[in-house]
A and B are shown apart, each in its own frame.
Chain A
Amino acid sequence: MAETAQWTPRSAWAGIAQPGTFGAAGRGGVTATLLEGHGLASLIAAPGGAEALARRVEQSLGLALPTAPRIVSGAGHDVIWSGPDQWLLRARSRGEMPSLIAELARYAAVSDQSDARAALRLSGPHLRDALAKGVMIDLHPAAFAVGDAAATSVAHLGVQLWRLPDAAEGPAFEIMVARSLAGSFWSWFAASAAEFGCRVVAGRG
């Protein structure tokens, strides 16, 4: 019977990455936080419906939907531009996703993507050096401002990434990759960050 089975969710990083350190010892050039527990949904506005959706998101979440490749963040949610009239909505708490999806479904095609991505927060003094080994766009502060977002490819796989305000230890970015490709992404990331020394910690998205 169902009640005897353990319905424990498995992290997208399970068996791939775990807290600890790797690479050059004592350098701490990069910190990778494995993000868990967030909710995620894709929003696609109906033709001509973007304004209505934006008003609704503003009312409900207090966030202005960006109209360019940017992330707009609030206390509990972020909205990330992912294409013309398309966004990702992230909620810190996964529990509210069903009601959020039901509410916004009147204004947009909303699809739950909470399990579809493996997510990392990355920071550190050598983060840009590590990312430069695969990210094919310019992440220099003058070219990629805090809050800028991009859909691009890294090591032959698609990613979405955006820049957070600088952290104490250096620049900070978040990056999302298709769940099935988390292992291949990590293979590239670990090889690329190793020379700078990398600390891996568990965290909440």
Chain B
Amino acid sequence: MSAQPFRLASGGLIDRSQALSFRFDGKSYGGHAGDTLASALLANGVRLVGRSFKYHRPRGILSAGPEEPNALVELRSGARREPNTRATVAELFDGLEAVSQNRWPSLAFDLLSLNGLFSPALVAGFYYKTFMWPASFWEKLYEPLIRRAAGLGRAAGAEDPDHYEKAFAFCDLLVIGGGPAGLAAALAAGRTGARVILCDEDFRLGGRLLAEKREIDGRPVAEWLAAALAELESLPDVRLMPRTTVFGLYDHGTYGAVERVSDHLPQPQPHQPRQRAWRIQAKRAILAAGALERPIVFPGNDTPGVMLAGAARTYANRYGVLPGRETVLFTAGDDGWATARDIAAAGGKVAAIVDARADADPARKALADRLGARLFAGGVVERARGGRQLDQVTIRDASGATHALACDLLAVSNGWNPTLHLTSHQNGKPVWDEEIHCFVPGTLPAGLAVAGSAAGRFTLATALEDGARLAREALGDLGLSVAAAGPVPAADDEPCGLKPLWRVTGGKGPVFPGKAFVDFQNDVTDADVELAAREGFRPVEHLKRYTTLGMATDQGKTSNLSGLAIMAEQTGRTIPQAGTTTFRPPYTPVAIGALGGHHRGKAFRPVRLAPTHGWSSEQGAVFVETGQWLRAQYYPKPGETDWLATVNREVLAVRETVGICDVSTLGKIDIQGADAAAFLERVYINGWKALPVGKARYGLMLREDGFVMDDGTTSRLGEHHFLMTTTTANAGKVMQHLEFCHQVLWPDLDVGMVSVSEQWAQVTVAGPKARKTLRGVVDPEHDLSNEAFPYLAARAVTVGGGIPARLFRISFSGELAYELAVPAGYGDAMMRALMQAGAPFGITPYGTEALGVLRIEKGHVAGNELSGQTTARDLGLGKMMSSKKDYVGRLMANRAALNEPERPSFVGFKPVDRRERLRAGAHFIGVGKAATMANDEGYMTSVAHSPHLNHWIGLGLIRGGSARIGEQVRAYDPVRGGDILVEICSPVFLDPEGARLHG
């Protein structure tokens, strides 16, 4: 590990007693607790940290904050590798590994930097101009080439091993930013007992107070800050959240924030998430996010060693790092002078101060003299050079003479842009303030106020005043007392005069004119902006899309305004006439993992497990997702390797002896009240008033538009008590529909409904031995004989010596079949009891596959046919439509188009060559006709292999329907390359008389 040649002997907010070791591009370096990766690299004299996006130019560290466009690295390794991490906000930890990006083969020697020589071909819009033809080359050739040459970091390519989570928080006042304005706001609000959340993206609260040598209330800022934080921590309803970026502002006072819980550690502590995404619901909020400093566009302004002036002083004051030994300051305003002063105080030499303003203020002249710096009032830096490390700047003085000066740091200041991003998130447009030369917040989102620099009120004193005042106003607005808010912290105003300088032109260039960068991250130069202006891409949105200005991961934090200013200059307009810069969430990049939180992999969405799930698992069932439910699909036996063999066995067992299948997932709705029967009359197409107590009936309901919504059996358990069942898929939808009908359409009906789907475990017992099996489970006092318990009987019984149960003699399989329901806690016991009772008959559990085969053999419709595009008549159920009553969907079902005889309707199909396999989704085409949309006659909805018939059978919808039974058509399946002859037949393939049902 090497020494830290640029580390100051004392000062700053780093802990020199805590040495940290880290690696950059494979080389070991040392740093201290409190460093960022950027400050530690600078301490070690590392200036070159990356290559640029398009031209592979050497790049260094421009900023000390979230706006950093250049110093992007891949952090960590393996599955935790994280691309495009800004070194300026990456907190240093022991063992940190970082790798520079976008260089090949190495950072110092990059072959692709030759791109810079061919740069005339790579100007704005070059994608559109160069890679036009032939179109087929784009995907195979151009894009892969460009992707390799231009690009940023590499994603890990492996599953993220860390856990992420979400959290929800509520407060009276959300303070965004922990600088002077935010702290003053939090103190004022917190003291009153209000619920306050203070978020700051930095790992240390204080904002600019961490980087400035100032006084508040007559005390050094560090002292004041420590006292303020101690006080805030003592307030029980104040939550301080460092390392937390508020990235978005949403409707009704909702804010999105991401807390980097473990980013400052090699890996999360046990049971800790890597990051936590917060949704904060704030009654009021104060944006105190500060401001971002603006660079100046001039040739070579991307050379490593050219740095924002505020950043240079942050490195000196906060991190105890001398950002350069020989500094030149290039400033357009007063603020840059603080950097010259602080760098000199830290022991750096200030070689020259280039203040673009022509007026020679005597106080500034005196300060330059005191610092021993040459002052160029009214001068500019027209060029920076040095390649991988700045070594010289060319200064053009007020008279036009040029001076070459050696230096290793050029600190640049062009004033500040308020960090007003959140004020734009609801479409608010910033407005240009001619006095202070920047955009300030325009119309504010409801509940949000803006304090301090974020509002364009840049001095420390106004920041403190703003924070305290706006907090009082917000609480007053909420009707809370502000009596205890305490005094407003006081500070002196600092000078903040500014005459912005957007770019420097007119320098006499060498052979290759130096590039002057507007957008560092996307390699957009001033020439690109000029080109856009010449070619007519003048509106700011066109400028952005044509040049990619502001489209990188930094979203133009340091570039948008320069680009706009140059466009304004090119087109003879003012900046506000040229356009505004607006922002959308997120403020800075947010990991997808944080947004997903716990919900990934198996926890992606909730899974519902049937009451018999444990038992089915024991039996080795294969499960299938049906909506949220996991249902047993089939139960393979040892030796069965083909699912079809398993399903055939299960189907034959039902047809020949007895099988059981969990149907707990069907929706079950308890409907009670004096008007329950009347209610059913209105939601179903068929009649219910005459259904006797103790009987079940098949019902079909329509949507308001006349198409079929759902079907199922409904049983009358009492005079005013019905139990409706729905399909598994539509359980929620039907419940919602019934609630709507009751609450909105017929609130006068005396009927109450509630889902009891979760209360009952329900199992189908089907097959010739079903009754005998049940006899061993249902308590003996209940007579199950055909006479006492006929087809469609539905009654309460008991099992296991008095456990309440319900028995329904209904059949989906066409066999003698029952459904037995017990309270869900007994579902597992019921399965075991049935298996035991049916053992003498070879009872066989079956899953949803066999269930499907059994119903297809009987021609019963299910989800595939209830597609939302079929009517009752389409499905052959038109006779159920009662003409004696009104019901939902009746009128619309009678529309002419829904009753055309040519509408595809429901029939069965079998392959003419019985060895052929049918495919659901195949379309029907007339024999000898071309496979075109015009000749499409319908499609196959369901298919199954019938072990009973020993060939494939299908159900489907075809023009003309049952009138065409006996005809042959093509089943055309271009997706799977199928085209076979099928015969139209009755959809009932088995036992059309229903003899088995009544057995």
Contact = CB atoms under 8 A, between A and B. Distances in A.
Interface in B626-651: 629
B833 A12 contact: no
A155 B604 CA distance: 10
B170 interface: yes
A9 B826 contact: yes
Contacts of A184: 603, 606-608
B759 interface: yes
Contacts of B833: 2, 5, 7
B836 A4 contact: yes
Contact of A112 (B170, B608, B759, B827): B759
A44 interface: yes
A174 interface: no
B271 A179 contact: no
Contacts of A191: 163, 165, 598, 603
Given A109-B673, A143-B170, 13 more contacts: A4-B836, A5-B829, A5-B836, A86-B752, A111-B672, A111-B759, A115-B824, A115-B825, A133-B167, A133-B276, A133-B598, A136-B168, A180-B611
Interface in A121-172: 132-138, 140, 142-143, 155-157
A32 B346 CA distance: 57
A145 to B, nearest CB: 15
Nearest to A25: B270
Nearest to B834: A5
B799 A7 contact: yes
Contacts of B799: 2, 7
A68 interface: no
Given A9-B829, A24-B271, A187 B800 contact: no
Given A8-B829, A47-B747, A156-B606, A192 B824 contact: no
B166 A2 contact: no
A180 B271 contact: no
A111 B670 contact: yes
Interface string B743-761: 0000111111110111110
B758 A113 contact: yes
A41 B981 CA distance: 57
A138 B825 contact: no
A137 B163 CA distance: 23
Interface of A: 1-12, 14-15, 23-24, 42, 44-47, 86, 98, 105, 108-117, 132-138, 140, 142-143, 155-157, 178-185, 187-188, 191-192, 194-195
Contacts of B776: 1-2
Interface in B641-695: 670, 672-674
B828 interface: yes
B866 interface: no
A191 B273 CA distance: 9
B823 interface: yes
B513 interface: no
15 contacts: A2-B778, A9-B825, A9-B829, A10-B829, A110-B672, A111-B670, A116-B824, A134-B168, A140-B170, A155-B606, A156-B599, A179-B824, A184-B603, A192-B165, A192-B598
Given A111-B759, A138-B170, A46 B750 contact: yes
B754 A187 contact: no
Contact of B271 (A44, A138, A178, A195): A195
B-side binding surface: helix, strand, loop or mixed?
Answer: mixed
A6 B169 CA distance: 48
Contacts of B598: 133-134, 155, 187-188, 191-192
B716 to A, nearest CB: 15
Contacts of A3: 801
Given A7-B800, A112-B759, A47 B168 contact: no
Most chain-B CB neighbours within 10 Å: which of A3, A98, A111, A156? A111
Contacts of A133: 165-168, 276, 598
B674 A46 contact: yes
Interface string B774-794: 001111100000000000000
B832 interface: yes
Interface residues of B, number: 66
A115 to B, nearest CB: 4
Interface string B821-844: 001111111001100110000000
B610 interface: yes
Point out which of B598, B606, B673, B804 has the most chain A C-beta atoms below 10 A from its C-beta: B606
Contacts of B825: 9-12, 115
Contacts of A115: 758-760, 823-826
Contacts of B281: 138
Contacts of A109: 670, 672-673, 751-754
B976 interface: no
Identify which of B168, B169, B826, B829 gathers the most chain A CB atoms within 10 Å of its CB.
B168
A51 to B, nearest CB: 15
B752 A46 contact: yes
Contacts of A188: 598, 603
B272 interface: yes
Contacts of B114: none
Contacts of A110: 672
Contact of B837 (A5, A137, A183): A5
A140 B273 CA distance: 23
B803 interface: yes
Contacts of B752: 44-46, 86, 108-109
A138 B261 CA distance: 22
B50 to A, nearest CB: 36
A5 B271 contact: no
Contact of B758 (A23, A24, A117): A117
B826 A7 contact: yes
B609 interface: yes
Contact of B754 (A1, A42, A155): A42
A4 to B, nearest CB: 7
Given A115-B759, A181-B608, A195-B271, A10 B672 contact: no
Q: Which 8 A-B pairs have the closest CB atoms?
A: A7-B800, A109-B752, A44-B752, A109-B672, A5-B833, A9-B825, A116-B758, A180-B608
Nearest to B612: A10
Contacts of A9: 823, 825-826, 829
Contact of B605 (A8, A105, A156): A156
Given A10-B614, A114-B823, A1 B837 contact: yes
Contacts of B747: 47
